[in-house]
């Protein structure tokens, strides 16, 4: 199949990103005179580079429902020769149909990215990572399902044993969250009725 033609003195031709090579295995380069095209071309094997990350791990350190925060890590592609950056997104689909950029890592040696707590989960279901070369971002990402950690205590009990008005004293008890892997301690505050209600 004819691919293109360039004049003498131009020793290169651009191959656009995402050019499907189908069943073709080689580029053939013929020279041509004003009389005839060369009979035996020079052949170059097409090496289709594929560089995708693997092993995406995200642990939600934001303990509120519908909010995310923490660090995502991944394993590098088998070959990073042409990897220029990693592009990290939240997405509503594993193939990135609707996505919002979390950020980019511009070194193929860095295999992690942090994002702040209280990042809205919104409708996102996956974290997806694309590799990017100097030419283009890869079209098919690697995805990992998001797991939103919600660690809320329950069954709070307090009985006031201080019998003076305006003073409280006693033992405050609660049941720990069902999801408690990321909980390192409990912070207890006093609050007015308008500040927080359940």
Q: What is the pLDDT of residue 94?
A: 95
Q: What is the mean pLDDT of each run of 10 residues along the chain (198 residues)?
A: 95 95 95 95 95 96 96 96 95 94 92 95 96 95 95 95 94 94 94 66
Q: What is the pLDDT of residue 195?
A: 56
Q: Residue 103's CB: how many other CB atoms inside 10 A?
A: 13
Angle 76-88-83 from CA coordinates, rounded to 5° = 40
CA distances from 139 to 58, 118, 158, 190 (A): 22, 29, 56, 51
Tell me the pTM. 0.82
Taking the C-alpha atoms of residue 75 and residue 91, their distance in angstroms, rounded to an integer, is 20
């Amino acid at each position: 199949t004819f691919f293109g033609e360039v004049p003498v003195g131009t020793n290169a031709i651009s191959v656009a990103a995402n050019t499907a090579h189908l069943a073709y295995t080689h580029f053939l380069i013929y020279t041509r005179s004003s009389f005839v095209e060369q009979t035996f071309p020079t052949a170059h094997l097409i090496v289709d580079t594929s560089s995708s990350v693997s092993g995406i791990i995200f642990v939600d350190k934001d303990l509120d429902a519908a909010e995310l925060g923490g660090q995502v890590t991944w394993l590098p592609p088998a070959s990073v020769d042409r990897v220029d950056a990693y592009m990290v997104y939240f997405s509503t689909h594993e193939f990135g149909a609707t996505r919002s950029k979390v950020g980019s890592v511009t070194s193929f040696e860095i295999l992690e990215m942090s994002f702040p707590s209280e990042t809205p989960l919104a409708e996102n279901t996956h974290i997806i990572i694309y590799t990017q070369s100097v030419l283009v971002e890869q079209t098919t990402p690697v995805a990992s399902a998001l797991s939103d950690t919600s660690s809320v205590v329950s069954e709070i009990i307090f009985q006031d044993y201080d019998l003076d008005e305006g003073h409280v004293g006693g033992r405050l008890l609660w049941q720990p969250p069902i999801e408690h892997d990321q909980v390192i301690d409990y912070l207890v505050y006093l609050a007015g009725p308008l500040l927080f209600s359940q």
